Chains A and B, each alone.
Chain A
Amino acid sequence: MDSQIVLLLGQDGLTSGAIYALLALSIVLVFSVTRVLLVPQGEFVTFGAMAMAGMQAGHSMTLAWLLLGLAGARAAGALRARRRWPGPGDWIMLGYAVALWALLRVLPLQALPMVVQALLTLALVVPMGPLLYDIAFKPIASAHSLVLLIVSIALHGVLVGLSLLMFGAEGARSEPFSDGGLEIGPVVFKSQALWVIAASTLLIGALYVFFDRTLHGKALRATSVNRLGAELMGISPTFAGQLSFGLAAFIGALSGILIAPLTTLYFDSGFLISLKGFVGAVTGGLLSYPIAALGATSVGLVESFSTFWASDYKEVIVFTLILPFLLWRSLTTRHSEEDA
C-alpha cells in the first residue's frame, strides 16, 4: 500500500463522506425540530439523481406527476379535515405543481444547460418535502415519537414503490459537471469529486449562517431546543416542520444531483446512502451538527479503507461503528422522560 493508494482511497472516502455529512445534518435537523426520524431522506437523493439523469436522457418527467399528486392530496386532505374549501396555500401549491408540470413538458430539457437542469430538478423535488410533512406528519405532529417513526418507515416504503413505478428497475447515471481533473502530486483528483466536496462544504457553511444569522434559522433552532417554549414565543410548529422538511428535501436532492455522475443509482439506492448518513447522525447523538458531520465524514473514510482491506466485511465494519457510540452515549447521557 503506497501513498498513491492512500490518497486515492482518501479522495474516495472524502467524496462519499461529504455526501453522508450533508444527509446526517439533514437527519439531525428534521429530528430535532419535528422528532421525526427521516427514513425517506434517501428518497430525495434518488429523486434528485433520477430527475437529473432522466432530463439528460430525454425521458418524460414522471416525477412531475408525483408533485402534482402530492399537491392534490394536500388540497383534498384540507377539504376533508377542515370541511371547508382548500386554503390559498393549497391553491398556490397546486398552481405551482401544474405550472411546473406544463413547463417540464414544453421545455427542451435535454438541450438545456446543466445548471438549468439542476435548478429544475430542485424546483421539482424541494416542494415535496413540505408537502410530505403536511400530508403525513402535520396531522400527528404531537403523537409519540414511535408513531412518527412508524409513519416515517411507511412513507419510505410508499416512496420506494412509487420510485420503481416512475423510474423503472434499471440504473441511471448523469453527465459529469465538467471533464478532466486536478493533478496534485501523483494523484488525479476527479473533477466531480472536487465538485462534491466543494459543494458540500459550501452548503454546510451556508447552513451555519442560516442557523446563526437569519430569523427563520433561529426560529428552527428555538423549536429544536424547546418546542412549547418556541410556540409560546409565536413560532408556528407547522411552519418549522415545513421548513425543516423543505431543507431536508433540498439537501437530499442536491446530494443526488452531485453524486449522479459518479455512480450508477437505482430506484432504491437512496436508502443505503442515507443510512450511512444516519450512522453519522447517531455519533452526534442526533443533536450536535458538527459531531454529526464529522462522524459522517469518518464513515466515508472508514468505508473506503475497510473496503480496500476486506471488501467482504465492509458493511459490517461500517455499521458496527455505531455500537461504541451508542454505548458511550447511553453511559454518559442522563435518561429523561420525553417531554412530548
Chain B
Amino acid sequence: MVLKNVFPALIAAAGALCFAGGALAQIKVGVVSSASGPIALVGIPQKNTVALLPKEVAGQKIEYFSLDDASDPTASVSAVKKLINEDKVDALIGPSGSPNAMGVIQFAAEAGVPMFAPVGTAAVVLPMTEQKKWVFKTTQNDDLIANALVDHMKASGIKSVSLIGTADPYGENWAKVMTELLAAANIKLLTSETFQRRDTSVTAQALKTLAARPEAVLIAAPGSSAVLPQTTLFDQGYKGRFYQTHGAALDDFLKLGGKKVEGTILAASGMLVLGDMPASNPIKAIATKYVADYEKLYGSKPATFGANVYDAGLLLQAAVPAALKKGKPGTPEFRAALREAIEHTKELAATQGVYNMTAADHSGFDKRGRELITVKNGQWAALK
C-alpha cells in the first residue's frame, strides 16, 4: 500500500527534475520536507502535496525543487543553502519539523527569500524579528487551538485538568500555553507529565495522572503517538473526559485507538469534518478539492500536514501577480516584493482556514481556522 504511494511520488519528482533542466528560468520554489527519518509521518504527505501545488500563475511557470532532509536539522540547513545558492529559488516551502525550521530562518532571511513554514511551533514567527519577517507560518498557532479547548472546558464546568505531552518542542509549547490559559480560566492544572514519542509504555505517567484525579486530561502529542497515553488511561479505568490537540487530527488516531478514543474532543482545522460543514464555510470547497485531488493521485487521504504545504501554494499563488509588477522572477526585488505581497494577504480562504496576514501576525488565522471535533461511532464529527 505504501509502496503504491511512494513510487508515483518518486516518478513525479524524477519527472519534475527532468523538466527543471529544460525549462526557462521562471519562478522557482524550493521545498524541503522530512520524507524519511523520525518525523516522516509529517514529511511524506508534505512531499506528496508538491505535485498538487499551482504550476502556473499569471502566465509564469512555477518550478518546484523538492529535497528530503531525513528529519535532520543540519540536513535542512544544507538543503536550504543549496536551494538558495545553486537553484536560486524565489521562495521556500518547509522544512517539516519545528527545530529544522528554526535552524534555517537565518539563511532564508540573509538571502532575502520568503519562506513558508508548515510547522507546529509559533516560535518561527513569534516574537517577530527582523529575520522572522521573511517567515510565514501555514499552521494554526497553538494558542488559537488551545483557546478553543479551554473555552470548551469552561463551558462544560471542568475544574481540574492534567496534561500529558511529548518531551519535544510540540509538547513543551503546549504545556507552556496551557499553563497560562488554564490559570486565566481558573482551572487547576494538577499534573503535567511528559513522554517520548517512541515510548512503548506510558503506564507510569498514566498512573501519576490517575492518582491526581483530574476531571479531564489533555494529551499534547504529534501524530499517532497521541494514542498510547489515552488508551493506557482508558485501560486503567479513567472515566473523565479526554482532550486532544490538532496533532492527533489524523485518521490513524481512529484506527489505532478504536473504541477507546470514543468521545475525545479536539480542536483542529475543519478538514476532518468536511461533510458536517455548511456550504457557506469558505474553506469547504478548497479543502474538498485538495482531499479529492490527493486521493486521486495517491489512493489515500492526506494528513493535515500536507494541507499546510498546499496552503503555502495558495498564498504564493495569491501573492505572485502583485510581486511581478515590481520585478522579474530571480531578482532580489521580486523576492522582496513577494514577501511584501504575502504580508498583505487579506481574506484568503485556504484548506486550513482564512488567512489575514499583517506585519505582526505571520500566521494570520482567526477562529475560522479551527473547529471543535469529536469522535462519534469511530468517525470524526463536528461538535455541535
Contacts and interface: CB of A to CB of B under 8 A. Distances in A.
Residue among B43, B44, B196, B201 with max Cβ neighbours from chain A (10 Å): B201
Interface residues of A, number: 40
Nearest to B4: A60
Contact of B3 (A62, A266, A267, A314): A62
Interface string A168-179: 111111000000
Interface string B271-304: 0000000000000000000000000000000000
A169 B207 contact: no
A259 interface: yes
A8 B207 contact: yes
A97 interface: no
Interface string A280-323: 00000000000000000000000011011001101100000000
Contact of A165 (B6, B41, B196, B204): B6
B384 interface: no
A264 B225 contact: yes
Nearest to A273: B200
B256 A173 contact: yes
B3 A307 contact: no
B196 A266 contact: no
Given A9-B203, A12-B203, A16-B201, A169 B256 contact: no
Contacts of B228: 263-264
A9 B206 CA distance: 10
Which label, helix, strand, loop or mixed, suits the secondary structure of the B interface? helix
B200 A12 contact: no
Contacts of B66: none
A71 to B, nearest CB: 19
Given A5-B211, A62-B3, A259-B200, A169 B205 contact: no
Q: In the complex, which of the residues B36, B44, B200, B228 has the most CB atoms of chain A within 10 Å of its own CB atom?
A: B200
Contact of B200 (A59, A165, A262): A262
B36 A161 contact: yes
A12 B201 CA distance: 8
A190 interface: yes
B353 to A, nearest CB: 25
A265 B200 contact: yes
B225 A171 contact: yes
B204 A305 contact: yes
B272 to A, nearest CB: 16
Contacts of A8: 203, 207, 236
A169 B40 contact: yes
Interface string B180-216: 0000000000000111101111111101100100000
A264 B40 contact: no
Given A171-B225, A171-B227, A263-B228, A164 B36 contact: yes
Interface of A: 5, 8-9, 12, 15-16, 59-60, 62, 161, 164-173, 190, 259, 262-269, 272-273, 304-305, 307-308, 311-312, 314-315
Which 3 A-B pairs give the minimum distances between C-beta atoms? A307-B204, A169-B40, A169-B41
Interface of B: 1-3, 5-6, 36, 38, 40-41, 43-44, 167, 193-196, 198-205, 207-208, 211, 223-225, 227-228, 235-236, 252, 256
13 contacts: A5-B207, A164-B40, A165-B3, A168-B44, A170-B41, A262-B200, A262-B201, A263-B200, A263-B201, A307-B202, A311-B194, A314-B196, A315-B196
